[in-house]
Amino acid sequence: MSHPHPELGPPPPLPEGGLRIVALGGLGEIGRNMAVFEHEGRLLIVDCGVLFPEVDQPGVDLILPDFEYIRDRLDQVEAVVLTHAHEDHIGAVPYLLRERRDIPLVGAKLTLGLIEAKLTEHRIQPITVEVVEGERRRFGPFELEFFAVNHSIPDALAVAVRTHAGIVLHTGDFKMDQLPMDGRLTDLGGFARLGAEGVDLLMSDSTNAEVPGFVTSERDIAPVIDDVIRVADKRIIVACFASHIHRVQQVVDSAQKHGRKIALIGRSMVRNMGVARELGYLKVPAGILVDSREIEEWPPEDVVLICTGSQGEPMAALSRMANRDHPIRIAEGDTVLLASSLVPGNETAVNKVINGLTRWGAKVVHKGNALVHVSGHAAAGELLYVLNATKPSNFMPVHGEWRHLRAHARLARLTGVPEENVVIAEDGVVVDLVDGQAKVVGAVPAGYVFVDGTSVGDITEVALKDRRILGDEGFISIVVVVDSTTGRLTGGPEITARGSGIDPDSLDAVIPQIEKALQESAAAGVADVLQIRRVVRRTVGRWVSDTYRRRPMIIPVVVEA
């Protein structure tokens, strides 16, 4: 089995006729999916998504792939293929198009509709190429064939990339729901036909590779949602992903059945459902939809609110309702339905929201106590079907954390893919397909790029570490005035503490130690401001650690007189 190594260096030049694949995100993580294909001096990108920040990344709004690998070759990019419209696959497109606006975006109708709505907010008018399943398109040396796949959003596609180096099948995110809401099945027959032709490399979604069997059908959710709406005697609030059109459709259908009005809450929810409705993917009966600003005028038993915030996002509508920081006030007897699965890492945030809602008297229905969501990703049984249908010569698991990638690799070996032809890579690892053999040949930088407000890439890991320290331990600032020639103390020290939990009066105890340390450093001929700062920081830091066993940020300010 080929796999990355921490000592991997830069890759050699791509051999003539070979195909190079570099994932800039999506390997070893859930999100930030982006794969770059290189062949005959041209590039093709499949997906360009974002990762959402963890609790230890304070102030960060989004995490992007690092475009540095392709930045000086953007003119060589033929197109960006978008397999579907989830944020972890399209969210970074606006930031890529800022660097070259005329890169064609290739995708299905709904995918392009949602990305165009997003790009409008960024004031970018994209070049789009709409495709449908079964269609073939050529972009430079890449011939693409598209296949229908079933996922938790309509119009998802898999893409086969044909080059002189061979055929690569990239599944995108998929599952094999046999009774999908829209009747659109994953094209296993098409995969088998491609397998008979010869798949040289299969890149397949690994998110649920550890889950045995088959994913529950979306249709099994409808009766549960209907029961929740039927028995509720007051207001109902449903939280789900802003892109989950199938789930919203189920809620709309049930609300109509039980005579309730619908209101959409949250900018992304309103935007996405507006696009879905306009393009015919969401069917909303006339008269059922009401403006969210009018919702308080309706009796509680007559309304259903559909909002964002199912993952506990702090600024999403549901979290703000739980914190009483939203115009819609949770009341005793309200029913809140969390119609989504938990993204790994969000458990604490979601539990906090559930507790907040319960505090105000709401009944909260979630995946832990009812079948209110099914995954959009194929479980192990479905992944085996695809492996057996495509019979790939080489296999590379994608879209998942390390445990998912390794579990998927085991499935591939069980179906007969040779050990040496199973490639487990991580972000930035370079995989070449040459003469029918896929193997790791090097690595390129593929770190995190943080978006913080309007700032892109300015926040570093060092800055985040400082933010974590400030958040956990607070800070102590010390102002001293020194003689610019001798380095002797002429004023201060003045000490201020914030968020450190240290009694301000007790800080007086460290002043003599600072004065002594500066006296000794001046006697040793130290007059450099940087060195004086180090003396002050070390002195105060040692005192705080010895006295309080804490490690606040120490900020010395040295003024020369």
Does the annotation list 377 as a binding residue?
yes
**pTM for this entry:** 0.82
> Which helix (DSSP H) or strand (DSSP E) does residue 553 occupy?
strand 553-560
Residue 202, CA atoms < 13 Å, CB-side half-sphere: 31
Interval 145-174 mean pLDDT = 97
Residue 540's identity, in one-letter code, is: V
Instruction: Mark whether 122 and 263 lie in a shared domain.
Output: no
Residues 6+ apart with CB under 8 A from 400: 27, 28, 30, 205, 206, 207, 209, 408
Q: Is 28 annotated as a binding residue?
A: no
| Active site residues per annotation | 205, 377
Find the mean pLDDT for residues 490-515: 82
Between CA 101 and CA 207 the distance in angstroms is 32
Residue 213, Cβ density class (10 Å: 0-12 exposed, 13-18 middle, ≥19 buried): exposed
The answer to whether residue 457 scores a pLDDT higher than 70 is: no
* Cα–Cα distance, 408 to 413 (Å, whole number): 9
pLDDT at 54: 61
pLDDT at 371 over 80: no
475 and 443 within one domain: no
Q: For residues 223-232, give the mean pLDDT.
A: 91
With 60 as the cut, is the pLDDT of residue 351 above it? Answer: yes
Average pLDDT over residues 379-387: 97
497/148: higher pLDDT? 148
Q: Does residue 305 sit in the same domain as residue 328? A: yes
State the average pLDDT over residues 37-41.
97
Tell me, yes or no, whether 167 and 80 share the same domain: yes
Read off the pLDDT of residues 415-439 as tens digits, 9 standing for 90 and up: 999 999 999 999 999 999 999 999 9
Which of the residue ranges 91-95, 447-451, 543-547 would you say has the lowest mean pLDDT? 447-451
Instruction: Confirm or deny that 102 is annotated as ligand binding.
Output: no
Q: Is residue 291 domain-shared with residue 308, that is, in the same domain?
A: yes
For position 147, which CATH number holds? 3.60.15.10
- Is 404 annotated to bind a ligand? Reply is no
Single out the residue in 365, 384, 409 at which a domain terminates. 365
**pLDDT band at 60, cuts 50/70/90?**
low
Domain assignment present for 452: no
521 annotated as belonging to a binding site for a ligand: no
pLDDT at site 454:
58
Say whether 89 counts as a known binding-site residue.
yes
149 with 201, same domain: the answer is yes
Q: For the chain, what is the domain count?
A: 3
pLDDT at 458 over 60: no
Q: What is the pLDDT of residue 487?
A: 80
pLDDT range class, residue 5, cuts 50, 70, 90: low
CATH code, 513: 3.10.20.580
Residue 346 near residue 312, CB atoms below 8 Å? yes
Is residue 452 marked as binding?
Answer: yes
Residue with more model confidence, 260 or 4: 260
Average pLDDT over residues 261-276: 91
Domain boundary (425, 447, 469) is at 447
Nearby residues of 217 by Cβ (< 8 Å), 6 or more positions away: 177, 178, 179, 180, 374
Q: What's the pLDDT tens digit per position in 229-238? A: 999 989 999 9
Degrees to nearest 5, angle at CA 280 with 279 and 285:
130
DSSP states of 65-101: --THHHHTTGGGEEEEE-S---HHHHTTHHHHHTT-T
39 marked among binding-site residues: no
Find out whether 243 is annotated in a ligand binding site.
yes
544's CB contacts (< 8 A; 6+ apart) are 476, 500, 502, 510, 550, 551, 552, 554
Q: Can you read off the two tokens belonging to residue 4? A: 């990355």
Instruction: Answer whether residue 95 is part of any domain.
Output: yes
Dihedral (Cα; 220, 223, 227, 229), 10-degree rounding = 100
- Is 373 annotated to bind a ligand? Reply is yes
In a domain, 2, yes or no: no
CATH number at residue 270: 3.40.50.10710
Regarding whether 171 and 67 lie in a shared domain, the answer is yes
**Same domain, residue pair 273 and 321:** yes
Q: Is 5 annotated as a binding residue?
A: no
Residue 478 forms part of a structural domain: yes
| pLDDT on residue 293 | 81
Q: Does 319 belong to an annotated binding site?
A: no
Residue 268's domain spans which residues? 218-365
Tell me, what's the pLDDT at 70? 95
3-state secondary structure 501-515: CCCHHHHHHHHHHHH
47 is in an annotated binding site: no
User: Which DSSP letter does residue 463 get?
Assistant: H
Nearest to 338 by CA among 322, 324, 354: 354
The arithmetic mean of pLDDT across residues 89-114, rounded, is 96
pLDDT of residue 149: 97
Lowest-confidence pick of 7-21, 77-91, 290-304: 290-304
CA angle 189, 194, 195 (to 5 degrees): 95
% pLDDT > 90, the chain: 56
According to the model, what pLDDT value does residue 200 have?
Answer: 98
Angle between helices 529-548 and 511-523 (to 10 degrees): 150
384 neighbors 415 (Cβ within 8 angstroms)? yes
∠ Cα 296 301 306 (to 5°): 65
**CA 92, 95, 100, 105 torsion: positive or negative?**
positive
Which single residue is written with the structure tokens 């103390």? 489
Residue scoring higher pLDDT (460 or 401): 401
Residue, of 390 and 355, whose pLDDT is higher: 390
Is position 61 annotated in a ligand binding site?
A: yes
Position 57 confidence tier, pLDDT thresholds 50, 70, 90 = low
Of 413, 447, 481, the one marking the end of a domain is 447
Partners of 232 in the β-ladder: none
85: amino acid identity, one letter = A
The pLDDT confidence band at residue 343, using thresholds 50, 70 and 90, is low
pLDDT of residue 379: 96
Shared domain for 143 and 226, answered yes or no, is no
Q: Decide if 8 is inside a domain.
A: no
User: For residues 123 and 116, what is the distance between their CA atoms, to the nearest angstrom?
Assistant: 10
Task: Tell whether 435 and 507 lie within a shared domain.
Answer: no
Confidence of residue 30 (pLDDT cuts 50, 70, 90): confident
Percent of residues, the chain, with pLDDT higher than 70: 92
Chain-wide mean pLDDT for the chain?
Answer: 88
Please give the average per-residue pLDDT across 389-405, as a whole number.
96
Q: At what angle do helices 267-278 and 109-121 cross, to 10 degrees?
A: 140
Do 391 and 493 lie in one domain? The reply is no
Residue 341 annotated in ligand binding? no
Please give the residue that has the higher pLDDT: either 131 or 266: 131
Q: Is the model's pLDDT at 203 over the cut of 70?
A: yes
- Residues 357-367 have a mean pLDDT of 88
Helix, coil or strand: residue 394:
strand
128 within some domain = yes
Distance (Å) of CA 137 to CA 82, 144, 161, 268? 14, 5, 10, 31
Is 318's pLDDT higher than 90?
A: no
d(CA 249, CA 254): 9
374 in a known ligand binding site: yes
Q: Three-state SS across 184-250?
A: CCCCHHHHHHHHHHCCCEEEEECCECCCCCCCCCHHHHHHHHHHHHHHCCCCEEEECCCCCHHHHHH
Residue 452: pLDDT band (50, 70, 90) is low
- Mode of pairing for the β-strands spanning 142-148 and 136-139: antiparallel
155-169, 314-328, 358-372 — most confident range: 155-169
pLDDT at 342 over 60: yes
Residue 3 has pLDDT above 90, yes or no: no
Task: Say if residue 326 carries a ligand binding annotation.
Answer: no
Q: What is the pLDDT of residue 150?
A: 95
In a domain, 470, yes or no: yes
Q: Is residue 455 part of a domain?
A: no
In this structure, are 224 and 329 located in the same domain?
A: yes
Q: Is the pLDDT of residue 2 over 60?
A: no
Give residue 81's pLDDT: 98
